[in-house]
Amino acid sequence: MTNLDDILKSRRDTRHFTPDEVPDEVIEKALQAGHWAPSVGLTDATRYYIIKSAEVKSAIKDLFLDYNKKAESLTDNPEQKEHYKSLKLEAIEEAPIGLIIAYDRSVLNQFTIGTVGSNEAVKFSSVCAAQNIWLSLTDQGYGMGWVSILNYYQFKKILDLPDNIEPLGYFCVGKPATNYDNQPMLQQLHWKKKSEAPICTEIKNVTESYISDLKLKSQIEIDNKNDFSKELQEKIDGKTKPVGALGTLETLAFQLATVFETLNPKIINPNIVVFAADHGIANHGVSAYPQDVTRQMVGNFLDGGAAINVFCKQNDIQLSIVDSGVNYDFPTNANLIDAKIAKGTQSFLHAPAMSETELQLCFEKGKTIVENIAKTGSNCIGFGEMGIGNTSTASVLMSLLTGFSIEECVGKGTGVEDQKLLQKQEFLKRAIENYSGQANLKEQLAYFGGFEIIQMASGMLTAFENKMLILVDGFICSVAFLIASKINPSIIKNAFFCHCSAEQAHQKLLQYLKAKPILNLDLRLGEGTGCAIAFPILKSAEAFLNEMASFESAGVSRQ
């Protein structure tokens, strides 16, 4: 066995340390080894932070203990729970030195070879650096332990790490107090056994990658429901009120009953789904907010502090959050639906926002999300979104799919100033002019689309197939509906446009769709808030149709 083999085999995730100090030259040599690690496209994105302060270590230990309680609750097996609690999973306060190995996401704002196919490659480079450091420390007679059971958001917050810095975890460094019988500690303690040899499979054949075409469906008028429609209208007109006196509520009740195909419609398990993703176009300053706000707002949704949380709670609506493509790694046990295609789209100024494969994945994931919600018995789904830069994406798609000029389709979004609005219009106009692809829906969606917008369009189509009410929020969601309606025009029958936003482009789009919004409150927040606020009105339509007395039952004369 060579010396390198010895080092590789003895590299352990160390949890027990002696109190011996670690000489500066040992750390310096180890960090240099990390710096020599392969770095995709020479991004040089790995960053290091040294921690010796007892106060800082104590704060990190508290974070670990808090999150470790959540880890314990993941098993219902009492024996396994006790075994887990007995394991030593960190040495944050015992180890002489704490090391944070992180990567700098801001390098992705530059054109870097190797990151076009996967932004994850930057993180992978930092993992290579961590392994080099581990091997160097092992060679010098020292050890390192990786602590990953942390709330990374809080971890960054208490250490005041910049938003663009993403830690791989906290690493404990020191002199090992044991060799763990020359085997992984978890194996020694009978938690899990490591396989004897690497698992390797040879791939001999190529599987054809088939991207299905978007099959556009023609509008099909259904005449065989005339009897039901007549009976439904008679029921509405027969309520103890003048004909048409409840105005739009009567129209909503008629549509609601028609979707459910019953004279006694009942909304069951309503669910608002907020799709979140980042957009490469945001790096060109088209928004009043930095791109990282997408990640911050998803965190706010998960913490229950956003407007949509408040309104869903008020109206007893289930809220689901989807990571369609946020430029951030959320904890795997975060209460969100993981439908991440990539960490944001590419900028469509000079290149496609997504590949055809990514476009197909968006349709597949959007379909799966809504199918799973339908399986819970839900027959009413609202669509919301979050994504810095997505008004620019939606504006371009609206212009291409309706024929309106880009000036008619661009609004202030999150609140850009008038001068910046003009710059935004010119910028998006240039992006459209740079497009040399074909004028077919599939290519246009791949070139200019956003992950969350396409997933919503797919979800709406799936909701229609499952005979669900489709609640459409503001401008971006209406563009998603526009896409869905180009694929299947019949979807309009199930759609309830919840409000007309303050975006002038939204008003024009609603006119194009011949849609009458339920509310007009000058909203421009997104998140599905319009759906949640309009929902009680739908419940009122349901209630009057089901519970209001008829002239006959109340003994009231019609004349």
CB 152 within 8 A of CB 167: yes
What's phi and psi for 100, nearest 5 deg? -105, 120
Question: How many Cβ atoms sit within 10 Å of the Cβ of residue 13?
Answer: 17
DSSP letters, 434-464, are H--S-SSHHHHHHHH--HHHHHHHHHHHHHH
Closest by alpha carbon to 473, among 518, 409, 526? 526
Is residue 54 classed exposed, middle or buried when 0-12, 13-18 and 19+ CB atoms within 10 A define those classes?
Answer: exposed
Using H for helix, E for strand and C for coil, what is the string for 162-213? CCCEEEEEEEEEECECCCHHHCCHHHHCCCCCCCCCCCCCCCCCCCCCCCCC
Residue type, 468: M
For residue 47, list its beta bridge partners.
Answer: 102
What's phi and psi for 346, nearest 5 deg? -80, 165
Helices (H) and strands (E) counted in the chain, each on its own, are 21, 10
Closest by alpha carbon to 102, among 11, 187, 195, 164? 164
Closest by alpha carbon to 26, among 219, 175, 193? 175
Rounded Cα gap, residues 551 and 558, in angstroms? 7
- 356-375 helix and 441-448 helix, angle to the nearest 10 degrees: 90
Annotation says 417 is catalytic: no
What's phi and psi for 380, nearest 5 deg? -145, 120
What's phi and psi for 240, nearest 5 deg? -75, 75
CA distances from 241 to 159, 238, 450 (A): 65, 8, 47
146 SS3 class = strand
Rounded Cα gap, residues 442 and 342, in angstroms? 19
220 SS3 class = coil
CA distances from 501 to 249, 273, 332, 412, 491 (A): 20, 19, 35, 12, 21
Percent helix, percent strand, percent coil in the chain, to nearest 5 = 50, 10, 40
What size, in residues, is the chain? 559
Q: Which of 358, 385, 452, 527 is catalytic?
A: 527
What's phi and psi for 402, nearest 5 deg? -110, -20
Rounded Cα gap, residues 87 and 108, in angstroms? 39
CB 96 within 8 A of CB 173: yes
The residues annotated with a catalytic role in the active site are: 527
